Amino acid sequence: MIEIDGSYGEGGGQLVRTAAALAAITGAAVTITGIRARRANPGLAAQHLTAVKAVATLCDAEIDGLALKSQRLAFRPRRLRGGEFQFDVGTAGSITLVLQALLPAMIRSGERVRARIIGGTDVRAAPPLDYFEHVLLALLGRMGVRVRSELLRRGYYPRGGGEVAVAVEPGSLHALQLDAAGKLKTLRGNAHVANLPAHIVERMRSAAIAPLRTFGISEPIIETRVLGNEAAYGHGGAIVLWAETEHTVLGAGRVAQRGVRAEQLGMEAGGELAADIGAGVTLDVHASDQLLVYLALAGGESRFTTRVLSSHARTTMWLIERFLPVHFETAIRGDAVSVAVRGVQERRTDLASQG
Residue ranges of domains in the chain, CATH in brackets: 2-178+284-354 (3.65.10.20), 184-279 (3.30.360.20)
Strand boundaries in the chain, DSSP class E: 2-5, 30-33, 62-64, 72-76, 83-88, 113-119, 147-155, 162-168, 184-194, 221-227, 232-233, 236-245, 249-255, 300-306, 329-333, 336-343
Q: What's the mean pLDDT in 134-149? A: 96
Confidence of residue 354 (pLDDT cuts 50, 70, 90): very low
Spatial distance between the Cα atoms of 180 and 276, rounded to a whole number of angstroms: 12
Among candidate residues 116, 107, 115, 117, the one with its CA nearest the CA of residue 169:
107
Integer Rg of the chain from CA: 19
pLDDT at 347 over 50: no
Spatial distance between the Cα atoms of 172 and 165, rounded to a whole number of angstroms: 21
pLDDT at 161 over 70: yes
Helix (H, G, I), strand (E, B) or coil at 164: strand
Pairing label, strands 2-5, 30-33: parallel
Lowest mean pLDDT among 107-116, 167-176, 232-241, 345-354: 345-354
The answer to whether 36 and 43 are in contact (CB under 8 A) is: yes
| CA dihedral (102, 118, 162, 147) positive or negative | positive
Number of neighbouring beta carbons within 10 Å of residue 141: 12
How far is residue 201 CA from its own chain's centroid?
24
Instruction: Please list, in sequence order, all residues whose beta carbon lies within 8 angstroms of the beta carbon of residue 52, skipping any fewer than 6 positions away.
Output: 16, 17, 20, 44, 63, 66, 73, 75, 101
Among candidate residues 183, 294, 312, the one with its CA nearest the CA of residue 248:
183
pLDDT at 171: 87
Phi-psi region of 159 (alpha: psi -120 to 50; beta: other; left: phi over 0): alpha
Beta bridge partner(s), residue 331 = 338
Which pairs with CB-CB distance under 8 Å and at least 24 residues apart come from 142-149?
142/176, 142/248, 142/249, 143/173, 143/174, 143/175, 143/176, 143/294, 143/298, 144/171, 144/172, 144/173, 144/174, 145/107, 145/171, 145/173, 145/294, 146/171, 147/103, 147/107
Confidence of residue 292 (pLDDT cuts 50, 70, 90): very high
Average pLDDT, the chain: 93
| pLDDT single digits (tens) 233-289 | 999 999 999 999 999 999 999 999 999 999 999 999 999 999 999 999 999 999 999
| pLDDT single digits (tens) 75-89 | 999 999 999 999 999
Pairing label, strands 184-194, 236-245: antiparallel
Spatial distance between the Cα atoms of 292 and 77, rounded to a whole number of angstroms: 22
Burial of 184 per CB tally in 10 Å (0-12, 13-18, 19+) = middle
Q: What's the mean pLDDT in 111-116? A: 97
Number of neighbouring beta carbons within 10 Å of residue 207: 22
pLDDT at 299 over 90: no
Q: What's the mean pLDDT in 187-213? A: 95
pLDDT at 33 over 70: yes
Between these two residues, 215 and 16, which has the higher pLDDT value?
16
What number of residues does the chain have?
Answer: 355
Spatial distance between the Cα atoms of 256 and 247, rounded to a whole number of angstroms: 31
Spatial distance between the Cα atoms of 71 and 7, rounded to a whole number of angstroms: 10
Q: What's the mean pLDDT in 308-337? A: 95
Spatial distance between the Cα atoms of 162 and 122, rounded to a whole number of angstroms: 9
pTM score, two decimals? Answer: 0.94
pLDDT at 255: 97
Confidence of residue 219 (pLDDT cuts 50, 70, 90): confident
pLDDT at 213: 81
Number of neighbouring beta carbons within 10 Å of residue 228: 8
The answer to whether 207 and 199 are in contact (CB under 8 A) is: no
- CA 288, 293, 295: angle at the middle one, nearest 5? 75
Active site residues: 312
